[in-house]
A and B are shown apart, each in its own frame.
Chain A
Amino acid sequence: MGALIRALAARLVQAALVALLVGVACFAIVELLPGDQAYRVASARYGEDMASGKAAEAVRAELGLDRPWPIRLAAWLGGIATFDLGVSLVSGENVAVELGHQFGATLGLSLLALALSAAVGIPLGIAMALRGGALDAGGLVVAAALRATPAYLIGLGLMLLIAVQWGLLPAAGYDNAAAWPLPAATLALGLAAMSMRVTRDAAARVLARADTHFARTKGLPESAVLRRHVLRNAGVPVVAYLGVQLVWLVEGVVVVESLFSWPGIGHALIHAVIARDVPMLQGTALTMGLLFVALNAAVDLLCLAIDPRGRRA
């Protein structure tokens, strides 16, 4: 129990630090970037045809962008201390409300992608470790190729093949369940490539160990060896690696959401960057940072569940 609390407490402190760091960093980046924020916000709000000096000056006055930066940063920090993320400079909507919508879309997509990648990558990895040979070599090539291909290209390829060529699934949109598989598969393919390799290596290591030999020698059927010895032992690095994969996932979400018109956090993040919409940028980056910490905490807990040694320590 102590280990559990320690693990969660460490993640909680980490979360608070992430929040502070991300918020201040976002603010600093926008301050340091060249270009006039009022013009950016005006062009995001009113479009290129109507983004004029007059509109920019009206935006500057409305949002108080001419106040000195310490005052604006202090206002945001004051807000975050009371869990108020402010309002978007572009749409005027409450950032927390917008994030609420976007978070659901991103979380759903990410979880589906993780589940798909586990469903594909882990069995394939184990099969490669067991069979070796051509399957293993072929898997390495495919995994390397998938991992080396940008998510954008994978997504476009899937879209052209499955949506355009075969007409099986819609190319984009999010208004029905049929729209989920393509973006999720785009994310999942890159993830599966990695989890397949990690599973294969972990399983191969366990298979080569003396205790596995002993299990076989004592006469256990191969299925029992796999179930009772190999899977559990190989499970720890595989689950731990899931945490590392989240980086790829977060990065992938930004690209995939934009390609598939998915109304998630990644999509919002890109727009916030372009429009210099600081509260929205802080909110999205914060949510992604906290999501990262939360998923890592979940990975810690899973590892503890699989590996009893950590619980005793």
Chain B
Amino acid sequence: MTKRRTVILAAIAAVAISGTAMTPAMAQDADRVLRVVAPWEIGGLDPASSGHIFARLQVAETLVGADDGGLPVPSIAQAWTASSDGLVWRFEMRPGATFHDGSPLNAAAVAASLDRARTSAAGMLVNAPITAIAAQGGAVTITLSRPFTALPALLMHSSAIVLAPSAYDANGKVVRMIGSGPYRATLVEPPLRVELERFAGWWGPAPAIARASYLSVPRGETRSAMAEGGQADLVYIVPPEAVARLQRNARLDTRVQPIPRTRVLKLNAAAPYFDDVRVRQAVSLGIDREGIAEAILRSPAVRATQIFVPSLAEWHVPDLPPLDHAPARAKELLAAAGWRPGADGILAKDGKRFAVTLRTFSDRPEQPAMATAIQAQLREIGIDVSVAIMKNGEIPAGHHDGTLQMALFARNFSIVPDPIGTLLQDFGPQGGDWGAMNWSNAELIAALTALSGPIDAAGRAKARGDVARILQRELPIVPLAWFDYAVAINRRVDGASIDPFELSYRLSAMRWAR
């Protein structure tokens, strides 16, 4: 914004404050702007950092998309096949499709864009055993060094969005957001704002809504005020304390949908505290998940009974005995593991007090409250927990330098729609930054390895069940609560739906109701 414009706007605003009320927008549909508000800021144009915003706004697309069950569906690629040995995947392009700048959305451009995405250390494709990405006739071929069934899922990740050749500068840095989706960005103003216009050249059915805007509003109070005030049509992540109030508002359709993100307690399974599985089980038994879900998260149904949410139907095991709250049993387990209460009521073993630090961060405002609730609950079974509110980077940092003892965060098991990608990162032989620490299990690794290669349906079902059961028994990370994703939709808008994998806002399927 230029200084001059700022001054003019200031002058207009001074007039506005003299009491002029806004009149409801009565403009024609073509001029109506669908306003999307969400907490995420635009940190530059690098797909690894802000690709999710442009993918959700349908400015940029990925090679394949996902349906509500996480299964791959056509997107830029209209069809694909894998060779019989599983090593060469061939993705067919759509003839005649173009990017927003009019350049052809052909195999050469797509292969070049994906090849750039593959080199980013923070991207998703780096986790796939890709040896080459090439254009061959009307198709993009991806060659692997070993069979890897999760490849389509990894290609759905926002760090693998496909951009036009003109989006990059000579060094391969993204300098313009030029994708191929149903909306094109007419204004990108980091860190807060994007404006969109319908792209007439999109390969799919033309969207009903012609214009849209995105505003990043990091504060939850402000987002809920914007929903209630009618200044936003779609508000993502309504804070838990505002959900009930917004649900009573007749102008809003406030939906709460579970997503595959689980709030967990990461435990350092090295000596002297959590190396004994009985101690980890005792910690789990000492936590009152029901109380936390009700009092802090305001949603009793999110109490985690196991690591995977029920909506991950292929991974959730309905007959697994639920994680329980049983402080008396917890104390027995701790006693059996050799921990005896000291004079101050805190357990000790070999002269070592059971005093640990729990790291968490406040980007998710419920986490500090949960941490202090856990602090109080674990004190009841004789564990002295200090809570340290840090930034989220301190958790992977503490994992690497070994100083981490306990951490509370929300882990997304569907960073890509197939949880296998996240599970391989979290529970491999070395553990994972956001997963196990100083803990590994050969049986679990065998199951995960089997799941990432070719496997029949029965074998897959068994291996997935094994994963849930081993994690429930061994508790390298302790599930606390599942995750509700609350979205407030103004009733001006019809046809809204929530993507359980947070890949898209699905604006192109919405229309004005009135």
Interface string of B231-251 (1 = CB under 8 A from A): 100000000000000000000
Most buried by B among A42, A172, A260: A172
> Which B401-439 residues have C-beta < 8 A from chain A?
409, 411-412, 415, 425, 432-434
A-B Cβ contacts below 8 A, count = 198
> Which A11-57 residues have C-beta < 8 A from chain B?
35-36, 39-40, 42-57
> Which B133-174 residues have C-beta < 8 A from chain A?
159, 173
Residues of A with C-beta under 8 A to B16: 169, 177-178, 180-181
* Chain B residues with a Cβ closer than 8 Å to the other chain, count: 65
Cα–Cα distance between A39 and B13 once the two chains are bound (Å): 41
Residues of A with C-beta under 8 A to B7: 108, 111
Chain A residue with the shortest CB-CB distance to B123: A50
Contact stretch, chosen from B82-90, B210-218, B349-357, B468-476: B210-218
Cross-chain contact A172 with B394 (CB below 8 angstroms) = no
Cα–Cα distance between A169 and B124 once the two chains are bound (Å): 42
Given A172-B225, A173-B231, A180-B13, decide whether A43 and B216 contact each other with a Cβ distance below 8 A. no
* B396 is an interface residue with CB less than 8 A from chain A: yes
A108 vs chain B, min Cβ distance (A): 4
Cα–Cα distance between A262 and B317 once the two chains are bound (Å): 46
Chain A residue with the shortest CB-CB distance to B409: A48
Cross-chain contact A115 with B122 (CB below 8 angstroms) = no
Interface string of A201-234 (1 = CB under 8 A from B): 0000000000000000000000000000000000
Residues of A with C-beta under 8 A to B415: 49-50
Residues of B with C-beta under 8 A to A101: 1, 189
Cross-chain contact B229 with A46 (CB below 8 angstroms) = no
Cross-chain contact A180 with B191 (CB below 8 angstroms) = no
Given A48-B363, A51-B393, decide whether A116 and B122 contact each other with a Cβ distance below 8 A. no
A179 vs chain B, min Cβ distance (A): 8
* B462 is an interface residue with CB less than 8 A from chain A: no
Cross-chain contact A49 with B122 (CB below 8 angstroms) = no
Cα–Cα distance between A112 and B48 once the two chains are bound (Å): 38
Chain A residue with the shortest CB-CB distance to B124: A50
Most buried by A among B7, B49, B159, B411: B49
Most buried by B among A52, A107, A258: A52
Cα–Cα distance between A54 and B122 once the two chains are bound (Å): 7
Chain A residue with the shortest CB-CB distance to B412: A49
Cross-chain contact B6 with A105 (CB below 8 angstroms) = yes
Residues of A with C-beta under 8 A to B22: 167-170, 178
* A250 is an interface residue with CB less than 8 A from chain B: no
Cα–Cα distance between A108 and B393 once the two chains are bound (Å): 35
* A79 is an interface residue with CB less than 8 A from chain B: no
B453 vs chain A, min Cβ distance (A): 23
Chain B residue with the shortest CB-CB distance to A43: B393
Cross-chain contact A159 with B393 (CB below 8 angstroms) = no
Chain A residue with the shortest CB-CB distance to B2: A104
Residues of A with C-beta under 8 A to B228: 164
Most buried by A among B191, B215, B390, B412: B191
* A151 is an interface residue with CB less than 8 A from chain B: no
* Chain A residues with a Cβ closer than 8 Å to the other chain, count: 68
Given A92-B44, A108-B6, A168-B21, decide whether A175 and B122 contact each other with a Cβ distance below 8 A. no
* A149 is an interface residue with CB less than 8 A from chain B: no
Residues of A with C-beta under 8 A to B216: 261
Interface string of A151-185 (1 = CB under 8 A from B): 00000100110011001111111110111110011
* A141 is an interface residue with CB less than 8 A from chain B: no
Cross-chain contact A167 with B391 (CB below 8 angstroms) = no
Residues of A with C-beta under 8 A to B13: 112, 177-181, 184
Cross-chain contact A105 with B392 (CB below 8 angstroms) = no
Which of these, A109, A261, A274, contacts B192 with CB under 8 Å? Answer: A261
Which of these, B3, B52, B222, B363, contacts A259 with CB under 8 Å? Answer: B222
* A289 is an interface residue with CB less than 8 A from chain B: no
B177 vs chain A, min Cβ distance (A): 13
Chain A residue with the shortest CB-CB distance to B33: A175
* A90 is an interface residue with CB less than 8 A from chain B: yes
Cα–Cα distance between A260 and B222 once the two chains are bound (Å): 7
Cα–Cα distance between A55 and B337 once the two chains are bound (Å): 38
Cα–Cα distance between A159 and B448 once the two chains are bound (Å): 50
Interface string of B178-218 (1 = CB under 8 A from A): 00000000000111110000000000000000000101111
Cross-chain contact A172 with B122 (CB below 8 angstroms) = no
Cross-chain contact A55 with B122 (CB below 8 angstroms) = yes
Cα–Cα distance between A43 and B122 once the two chains are bound (Å): 10
Residues of B with C-beta under 8 A to A108: 1, 3, 6-7, 9-10
Cα–Cα distance between A160 and B1 once the two chains are bound (Å): 28
Cα–Cα distance between A14 and B326 once the two chains are bound (Å): 65
A8 vs chain B, min Cβ distance (A): 21
Given A39-B396, A55-B122, A105-B6, decide whether A45 and B48 contact each other with a Cβ distance below 8 A. yes
> Which B296-342 residues have C-beta < 8 A from chain A?
none
A255 vs chain B, min Cβ distance (A): 11
Cα–Cα distance between A271 and B409 once the two chains are bound (Å): 20
> Which B1-52 residues have C-beta < 8 A from chain A?
1-3, 5-7, 9-10, 12-14, 16-17, 21-22, 41, 43-44, 46, 48-49, 52
Cross-chain contact B219 with A55 (CB below 8 angstroms) = no
Residues of B with C-beta under 8 A to A172: 215, 217, 222, 225-226, 231
Cross-chain contact B173 with A170 (CB below 8 angstroms) = no
Which of these, A52, A103, A259, A263, contacts B433 with CB under 8 Å? Answer: A52
* B513 is an interface residue with CB less than 8 A from chain A: no
Residues of A with C-beta under 8 A to B121: 54-55, 57-58
Interface string of A125-162 (1 = CB under 8 A from B): 00000000000000000000000000000001001100
Residues of B with C-beta under 8 A to A274: 391
Given A156-B221, A171-B231, A263-B192, decide whether A48 and B392 contact each other with a Cβ distance below 8 A. yes
Residues of B with C-beta under 8 A to A260: 222
* A93 is an interface residue with CB less than 8 A from chain B: yes
Cross-chain contact B10 with A111 (CB below 8 angstroms) = yes
Residues of B with C-beta under 8 A to A181: 13, 16-17
Residues of A with C-beta under 8 A to B225: 159-160, 163-164, 171-172
Chain B residue with the shortest CB-CB distance to A111: B10
A281 vs chain B, min Cβ distance (A): 14
Which of these, A43, A90, A104, contacts B44 with CB under 8 Å? Answer: A90
Most buried by A among B17, B193, B218, B433: B17
Residues of B with C-beta under 8 A to A170: 22, 226, 229, 231
> Which B331-380 residues have C-beta < 8 A from chain A?
363
Q: Which 4 residue pairs spanning A and B have beta carbons closest together?
A: A180-B13, A91-B44, A39-B393, A58-B121
Q: Contacts A57-B121, A104-B3 given; 8 further ones with Cβ under 8 A?
A: A53-B399, A92-B46, A111-B7, A164-B229, A168-B22, A181-B16, A261-B217, A271-B191
Q: List 29 A-B contacts (CB under 8 A).
A: A35-B397, A40-B393, A42-B393, A43-B391, A43-B393, A45-B46, A47-B49, A47-B52, A51-B396, A52-B425, A55-B121, A91-B43, A91-B44, A91-B49, A103-B3, A104-B2, A108-B10, A111-B7, A116-B17, A163-B229, A170-B22, A170-B231, A172-B215, A173-B217, A177-B13, A177-B16, A180-B16, A261-B217, A263-B193
